[in-house]
Structure 1
Amino acid sequence: MNQAIAKADTLIEAMGWIRRFRGKTTVIKLGGSLLEDRTAMHHLLLDVVFMETVGLRPVVVHGGGKAITKAMADAGIAAQFIRGRRVTDEASLKVVEQVLAGELNVELTETMERLGGRAMNLSPRTTCVLHGKKMLDPDGEDLGFVGEVTSVDRDVIESLAYTDQVPVIPSLCYDDEGQLYNVNADTAAMAVAQSLGADKLVFLSDVNGVRKDETDPKSIIPAMSAETARELIASGVIRGGMIPKVEACLQTLDRGVQKVHIIDGRLRHSLLLEIFTTDGVGTEIHA
């Protein structure tokens, strides 16, 4: 009986957060090693289905870097990166499109359907909602078919959310001439969140958030303001690979999104724990 009561207490705690975020848009960025972990992805997508079921409006944006690198290797194409951007020639672009639009996007959508939700893949093979242009490298390097998002088809995404479907968007965009480009998934998610005026943008990572000591998972900072985040970068507390993640969060806040979260997607039901509990499990950065 005590266990049953504890479950009821958890539901009551969640109720306040559900009422607060009901009808609000949350953009969720999936990518990296998480897409290779079947168990983690199953639980994350189950969380997304739960969010939609209780009245939130989740939107999924995904990359697929590791799967792309593997597919390129299988095709005999060597991966090349310049400052973290994948150089994408014509042969590479075909592999990127197949992996993102032809495989991962379909798999994510079908998995959510099997879990009892309703989802719609918005890819260049169905309806592409990301529009952009070729990215020009500041140092003059030619990255090939690498692009940046300049506009998002907000009406298509919102029409799906209004009909209780979860939009699933790969990090690919078309330009005005119909040329396809590979886009960094973090920046694609930022563009979608900004366009939709999202209440939250959640970056699913392989660390549990921003830490005071990067080697100590228990030193996580549960919440901080944008000003504090900038101070921690300047003082060296935030360093290494966490700097670009936090800087991406700050850019998103500057563009009107209310809150950005960094959480460990490998933790079972991390999305629900972060959004529907008082303490959360990651780091929330707010304006």
Structure 2
Amino acid sequence: MNFDAKGTLPAAEFPFHPDNSPSHTPRGEFSVEEAIGKANTLIEAMGWIRRFRGKTTVIKLGGSLLDDENALMHILLDVIFMESVGMKPVIVHGGGKAINRALAESGIEPNFVRGRRVTDAPTLKVVEKVLAGELNVFITDEIERLGGRAMNLSFTTTNVLFGEKLPTEEDEDLGFVGHVTRVDRSVIEGLSYTDQVPVIPSMCEGEDGQRYNVNADTAAMAVAQALGAEKLVFLSDVNGVRRDKDDPKTIIDSLSAEEARSLIKEGVINGGMIPKVEACLETLDRGVRKVHIVDGAVRHSLLLEIFTTSGVGTEIHA
């Protein structure tokens, strides 16, 4: 992204900037057919916009996407658009790759058990610095630079995630890894009602003030459940649930919870997709209406999934 001296994204790089509207475009630069196509797209989106206006959508933003500057810009533009048409987006983010880089710079070797990061005291300091500090501020600032309004919610501003140490097997100690037991809804909803996008890192604080590292998927689930969200969107590095995990063209556009459970039993859903789909099912069981798995690297994948009939990912519903 190329910002000008004022730190603003130039109009040429901002698709929703007023200077890029048809009124600023010479009439001869696009055909009537192209203009009608644009109008048809808006009409298709109108029904979805009316349906989801005023509804909360929680977006889980993963570490791999935070490393892709172009993908991140389009995701955040989508979030701004959602807020602009009356939706209430909430971002919950991780940052695994950034944490690994920071650990390497500190000479700390990362350690994982069953996919969860072992978080001792030195690692916790790095995690807090990266997640609750650098990345949380960075995402918030990017939304502001792109023309939106956002507020970072962390230990240095206002913490909204509270929890406790994650229970584990007796012979397994993950250190300061926790899970969310309470979400401060009032702060998040207050920001949404003032047209700001809450940005929340995947960390929580215990009643005794102890801070914990939290899996970003489960943190997003806790926020979606607490807010009674209409949708929870997992931005992933795959395009959704596939009948053949190695063939992107076999994506399943829509699944009921019952169908998803059957596909797990049949082995169609397998490997690393199983825990993600099971997390989606658990979220549906707790009141969230729909869960989406979307490839965040696809340009404007959020808008395409939410505001078009066919979508670009997998929607799982009750």
1:245 match = 276
2:206 match = 175
**Secondary structure in 2 matching 1:278:** coil
Runs of 4+ in 1 over 4 A off after TM superposition: none
1:191 match = 222
**Secondary structure in 2 matching 1:5:** helix
TM alignment of 1:1-287, pairs within 5 A: 1-287=32-318
Counterparts of 2:173 and 2:281, CA distance in 1:
28
Q: State the one-letter code of the partner of 1:88.
A: T
Counterparts of 1:141 and 1:48, CA distance in 2:
39
**Secondary structure in 1 matching 2:232:** strand
Task: Tell me how far 1:151 sits from its aligned partner.
Answer: 0.3
Q: State the one-letter code of the partner of 1:202.
A: V
Counterparts of 1:127 and 1:222, CA distance in 2:
38
Task: Tell me how far 1:32 sits from its aligned partner.
Answer: 2.8
Task: Tell me how far 1:140 sits from its aligned partner.
Answer: 3.4
Could you give the per-residue CA deviations for residues 50-95 of structure 1, whole angstroms, max 9, x where no partner exists? 0000000000000001110111011000000111110001100110
* Contact 2:63–2:93 (CA under 8 A) maintained in structure 1: no
Task: Tell me how far 1:125 sits from its aligned partner.
Answer: 1.1
**Secondary structure in 1 matching 2:233:** strand
Task: Tell me how far 1:139 sits from its aligned partner.
Answer: 4.8
Counterparts of 1:4 and 1:277, CA distance in 2:
18
Alpha-carbon spacing, 1:139–1:263, altered in 2? closer, same or farther (3 Å): farther
Could you give the per-residue CA deviations for residues 215-264 of structure 1, whole angstroms, max 9, x where no partner exists? 11111000010000000000000001111110110110011100000000
Counterparts of 1:103 and 1:127, CA distance in 2:
15
Q: Which has the larger radius of gyration?
A: 2
Counterparts of 1:216 and 1:81, CA distance in 2:
29
2:12 match = none
Counterparts of 2:119 and 2:101, CA distance in 1:
15
Q: State the one-letter code of the partner of 2:293.
A: I
Which is worse superposed, 30-39 or 153-162? 30-39
Counterparts of 1:119 and 1:194, CA distance in 2:
21
Q: State the one-letter code of the partner of 2:302.
A: L
After superposition, the CA RMSD in angstroms is 0.6
Q: State the one-letter code of the partner of 1:225.
A: S
Counterparts of 2:256 and 2:163, CA distance in 1:
31
Identity %: 74
Task: Tell me how far 1:138 sits from its aligned partner.
Answer: 2.9
* Contact 2:59–2:233 (CA under 8 A) maintained in structure 1: yes
Q: State the one-letter code of the partner of 2:248.
A: P
Task: Tell me how far 1:101 sits from its aligned partner.
Answer: 1.4
**Secondary structure in 2 matching 1:268:** coil
**Structure 1 residue runs without a partner (length 5+):** none
Could you give the per-residue CA deviations for residues 141-191 of structure 1, whole angstroms, max 9, x where no partner exists? 111110000000000000000000000000010000001100000000000
* TM-score, normalization by structure 2: 0.89
* Contact 2:58–2:90 (CA under 8 A) maintained in structure 1: yes
Aligned length: 287
